[in-house]
Chains A and B, each alone.
Chain A
Amino acid sequence: MPPVQPVATGPDVAISVRGLTKSYGDFAALRGIDLEVRRGEVLALLGPNGAGKTTAVEILEGYRARDGGEVTVLGFDPARRDRALRARVGIVLQECAVDPYLTVTEALDQRALLYDDPRPVDDVVGLVGLGEKATSRVKVLSGGQQRRLDLGLALVGNPELIFLDEPTTGFDPSARREAWDVVRDLCAEGRTVVLTTHYMDEAQALADSVVVLAGGRVVASGTPDTLGGRDHGVSTVRFALPAGVALADLPLPTGSGAVVRGGFVEFASAEPTGVLHELTRWALERGEGLVGLTVLRPSLEDVYLSLTGAVDGTGVDGSGVDGTGVDGPGTGAR
């Protein structure tokens, strides 16, 4: 790790957006967005394709002009494209935008020259895990390596604020974990990060706050753990049905809606504590265990899908009971 570079402190708010609107012809891409990002915070912008994520981020980055509303980024209006603002912001686009005939080090050198106080290029190469590829030309890098170089290019200028547009798309699992560590380190250095992602586990792992866009509006915002009432949501209890026991023999409250699927009992409960107490006492008295017992809150993905209307009918209450969402890799367990 390179030495931690303190970034300039100032007012608490890095980004402030009020009533942001933007239309393309007749299509209203943003219909009045409010959001706020505090310094040192990681904000994850979630939403289905066409929700307005990229439009919103590109307005913040200064690539697009807004139709209405107030936007302040590090104290600047990004639409004015001040050079002083661009010097303090790092941007990772979705495309790998690097000249294919330069080497990794050359591409970083070229970028570093544009800033007053760049990070040492060697440090950046190590930071994004391209040490072995430092003298390779960009065009021979794999897709994931090019994305990592992309991230390095955004970091070399020592930015206070970093925009990451789907930064780990195409990464293998270990590369994603490494990229997450980089983002966490940036945060620990006091930098502010705005990221868009399709991966709920990424938002869960990195974000201090989450904003969900759908149809050009903010449909929910909060921390990953409280988004959409996730912390008050219905939990799903699941365990293996003991041998020789019928579902009706279990000490479950009436109307629990419990079902047996593949030898596992599943039911939803808003207050699982009491139910579990009865269940575990029953099991201990019989001298049995509840094999594979899990209690899961709705995953961020479940909440997200219900918020953005991609789940048909059942919504948050149905989450998990259908099985697949709950058993997914880890997102619900946090």
Chain B
Amino acid sequence: MNDVRVAAHQVRFEQKAYWRNPMAAVFTFAFPIVFLIVVGTTAGSSEVPGTTLRYDQYVVVAMLTFGLISACYTNLAMSICTRRETGVLKRMRGTPIAIGSYVGGLVGSVLIVVTILTVIVVAMGMAFYHLHFPYHPAAVVVTLLVGIVTFSSLGLAVTILVPNADAAPAIVNGIYLPVVFISGVFYPLAQGSVLARIAAWFPVFHMIRALVVAFEPGPGTGFRGHDLGVMLVWAAAGLWVTARRFRWEPRRPT
């Protein structure tokens, strides 16, 4: 048995299941696209302070972040909670599959979703809002990869807090929506504001900032080491907690 081959097959089955479940794709694709259209047609074309991007162009980057978080954190957490509740995880654990192959299948599937999302959102930005093709494409790719690792890790970690599948939407969204709101996903944060200083503790803010820089013209490689570093600290924390406390079965009433 070849673990890598098994992981590749897992990706295939994860993808089939993903595209057949309409709910999962709504927030990842429909919401960013609709938001882009609505905001893009109403927003002024003034520049966002501290960047060279116009507001509507900034929204493209912000919605890419939003969609990525939805694909990695929200969808992963929800599907893990459902699978835990219905016994799919327990059942998987009774087979000879390597845990790495299973997680690899999940993350590989997310990678495909984020790639498609990125192409759609960036193409829309370029077509409708004169967004320039990223000036630092390598930095965009690396930032997206770090984002996938970070928010997938946090998606796995948050399942530890969820007692059963009914509670999953409230807990998963209850943690992430406030963070998304204060992190400048829907409007740029005023630099140095209290909100910006709070948001700087969380990975969403850093993901947007790293992406904005990677999209902008400028000297150097476009990498934001500090922002990526903060995200990776969150990723490591999520993996650490997951490795110690992950539950394969729902909490039983005792």
Contacts and interface: CB of A to CB of B under 8 A. Distances in A.
Contacts of A101: 16-17, 20-21
Chain A interface bracket (under 10, 10 to 19, 20 to 34, 35 or more): 20 to 34
Interface of B is mostly: helix
Contacts, number: 69
A123 to B, nearest CB: 19
A148 B13 CA distance: 21
B237 interface: no
A111 B95 contact: yes
A89 B96 CA distance: 9
A196 B47 CA distance: 69
Nearest to A88: B96
Nearest to B105: A110
Contact of A25 (B93, B94, B249, B254): B254
Contacts of B95: 86, 111, 114, 157
A185 to B, nearest CB: 22
Contacts of B130: none
Given A86-B94, A91-B94, A157-B95, A97 B88 contact: yes
B90 to A, nearest CB: 6
A50 B190 CA distance: 60
A157 B16 CA distance: 22
Contact of A116 (B1, B5, B91, B94): B1
Interface string B204-242: 000000000000000000000000000000000000000
Interface residues of B, number: 24
Given A101-B17, A102-B17, A106-B16, A91 B91 contact: yes
Contact of A99 (B6, B88, B98): B88
Interface in B155-195: none
Interface string B80-114: 00010011101101111110000000000000000
Interface in A116-137: 116, 137
A113 interface: yes
B96 A83 contact: yes
Given A24-B254, A113-B6, A114-B6, A99 B96 contact: no
A55 to B, nearest CB: 11
Interface string A31-62: 00000000000000000000000000000011
Given A63-B90, A97-B90, A101-B20, A114 B13 contact: no
Contacts of A24: 254
Nearest to B95: A114
A264 interface: no
Interface of A: 24-25, 61-63, 83-84, 86-87, 89, 91, 93-99, 101-102, 106, 109-111, 113-116, 137, 153, 157
Given A99-B13, A114-B97, 11 more contacts: A63-B249, A83-B98, A84-B96, A86-B96, A95-B87, A95-B90, A97-B88, A101-B16, A113-B6, A114-B96, A115-B1
